[in-house]
Amino acid sequence: MKIGIIGCGAAGGTAAQFARKTNRNAEIVVYDKEGYGQYSKCALPFVIGGMDWQRIIEFPPEWFRKNGIEYRNEEIYRVDLENGIVEGEKEEEFDKLIIATGASPACPFEANNAYFLRTLDDALAIRKRAEEAKKVIIVGAGLIGMEVAEALIKAGKDVKILEYMPQILPGMLDKDIADYVMKKLNIDVILNCKVKRVDGGTVEGNDCYEADMSIIATGNKPNTFSGKAIEVNERCEAREGVYAAGDCTIIKDFFGRSIVVGLGSIAARQGKVAGSNAAGGDDAILPPILAKTTKLFGIEIASVGLLSKEIDGIAARYLGRDLPHYMGGEEILVKVVADKDGVIVGCQAVGRGAAKIIDRLAIAIYNKMNVKDMARIENAYAPSVAPTFDAIEIACSMIERKLK
């Protein structure tokens, strides 16, 4: 069996590893036009902030070769899915193909002499230019824009963020939670700002803004040979003998929506499934519930499932502390979202341990738990560790009372 894998990101690199674990005899070829091997794209803001770029390389080219995987620093220009043929420096035929070509930055306006962040080379170029810059404009206040802003502010740069939406992190938080986060962040953000044109450090929007450089973080578009995202099932199959994984794919989520994959956590899990199945295994990915987390200026932020604006349901938010009052502790904000029957469909959390709160709610969502049950589940308690009734239980109790 001969397996060809196009791309070596979280999806492609993971696919190669699990194809090898599943089939020790298969011939596996990985095409990677970047040449670094598998690295963490989520860590690119840290590289911009000064981290040694070699630290984020998780599996260098040598690792693949040592494990019997042929690694080629080569770009593929054409794919014949029906016949399993790929064309790079030469044409080659495979029994199974895995498309893991990722995504490219998307920009809804004219942008010249601006920087985008998608690859390690992008991060290194931004870092080099930022060494000479004092003022930086970032267009987009999503996860990437906010994380890059933090890296540059910590490096001593004067950063201004321009965001089209009326809030930061619009794909992750409801506006009330985003507003709470904004009050805690000492950053210069202009909301409701429609950018029309960028040229170097000059940005035309609601006003004309000037800086030494600009960075565009307005989302991504799938990289595919057809120009359209590849629809796959839970086995990551696009068609017989052809699998796809990562940001180039469309998949059904837990709520029945067709979504374009944009999270490294999902891409890696798709890669595991695609690699295993292409090599003869039988695996499937759970439908995604879009668990996300970040930490901005020491503040942990996380979310999972639906936002309240995405469902005609009921929500409750609780602002308290993560320890009993006599222990001090830190402020914690939790918002639970449920449908009209009280079934939990989403959660947002801000504060210490937010990601672990979201992990707990992810299990509740997968099991279609009701707020009534969640409000009664026993949790570990000790004054120095956690309160008797934690923020999740209290928020769920608030929804239960509203339902009554």
Is 210 in the same domain as 114?
Answer: yes
**For residue 393, is it within any domain?**
yes
What CA–CA distance (Å, rounded) separates 166 from 178?
Answer: 10
Exposure class string for 221-238: b at 16+ Cβ within 10 A, else e: bbbbbeeebbebeebbbb
Is 152 in the same domain as 194?
Answer: yes
- The pLDDT value recorded for residue 382 is 97
- The pLDDT value recorded for residue 243 is 98
Residue with tokens 């909301």: 191
**For residue 335, is it within any domain?**
yes
pLDDT above 90 for 46: yes
- The pLDDT value recorded for residue 377 is 94
Which contiguous run of DSSP H or E holds residue 54? none
Mean pLDDT rounded to a whole number for the chain: 97
**For residue 283, is it within any domain?**
no
Residues with Cβ within 8 Å of 395's Cβ and at least 6 positions away in sequence, in order, are 316, 317, 318, 334, 335, 336
**For residue 28, is it within any domain?**
yes
Is 7 in the same domain as 97?
Answer: yes
Is 231 in the same domain as 93?
Answer: yes
End-to-end CA distance of the chain: 60
- The pLDDT value recorded for residue 186 is 87
- What CATH number did the domain enclosing 307 receive? 3.30.390.30
**For residue 286, is it within any domain?**
no
What are the residue ranges of helices labelled H in 32-167? Answer: 44-48, 61-66, 120-130, 143-154
Of the residues 201, 216, 231, which one is the last residue of a structural domain?
216
- The pLDDT value recorded for residue 49 is 97
Of the residues 175, 194, 216, which one is the last residue of a structural domain?
216
- The pLDDT value recorded for residue 103 is 97
What pLDDT, in 10s, does the model give residues 5-39? 999 999 999 999 999 999 999 999 999 999 999 99
Is 128 in the same domain as 200?
Answer: yes
What CA–CA distance (Å, rounded) separates 396 from 371?
Answer: 5
How many domains does one find in the chain? 3
Q: Which two tokens stand for residue 314?
A: 């009921």
Q: Which one, of 148, 145, 151, lies nearest residue 163 by Cα?
A: 145
Rounded mean pLDDT, 258-287? 97
**For residue 284, is it within any domain?**
no
**For residue 397, is it within any domain?**
yes
What pLDDT, in 10s, does the model give residues 81-98? 999 999 999 999 999 999
Is 138 in the same domain as 236?
Answer: no
What CA–CA distance (Å, rounded) separates 277 from 127?
Answer: 40
**φ, ψ for residue 300, nearest 5 deg:** -85, 130
What pLDDT, in 10s, does the model give residues 348-385? 999 999 999 999 999 999 999 999 999 999 999 999 99
Is 359 in the same domain as 315?
Answer: yes
Q: Which one, of 172, 144, 186, lies nearest residue 47 by Cα?
A: 144
Is 197 in the same domain as 122?
Answer: yes
CA 341, 345, 349, 355 dihedral sign is positive
Instruction: Name the active-site residue from 42, 107, 347, 396.
Output: 42
Share of the chain above pLDDT 70, in %: 100
State the amino acid at position 62 in one-letter form: E
Is 316 in the same domain as 265?
Answer: no
CA distances to 115, 231, 257 from 268, rounded to whole Å, are 27, 17, 20
Is 90 in the same domain as 225?
Answer: yes
Is 298 in the same domain as 397?
Answer: yes
Q: How confident is the model at residue 108 (pLDDT cuts 50, 70, 90)?
A: very high
**For residue 285, is it within any domain?**
no
Q: Which one, of 124, 96, 100, 129, lies nearest residue 114 by Cα?
A: 129
Q: Are 71 and 32 in contact (CB under 8 A)?
A: yes
| Catalytic residue list contains 42 | yes
What pLDDT, in 10s, does the model give residues 173-206? 999 999 999 999 989 999 999 999 999 999 999 9
Residue 203 structural domain: 107-216
- What CATH number did the domain enclosing 61 receive? 3.50.50.60
Q: Which two tokens stand for residue 251?
A: 């998949």
Sheet arrangement for strand 208-210 = 110-112, 197-199, 202-204, 208-210
- The pLDDT value recorded for residue 143 is 97
What CA–CA distance (Å, rounded) separates 10 from 7?
Answer: 9
Of the residues 250, 278, 306, which one is the last residue of a structural domain?
278
What CA–CA distance (Å, rounded) separates 286 from 38?
Answer: 24
pLDDT above 90 for 250: yes
What pLDDT, in 10s, does the model give residues 281-325? 999 999 999 999 999 999 999 999 999 999 999 999 999 999 999
Is 95 in the same domain as 14?
Answer: yes
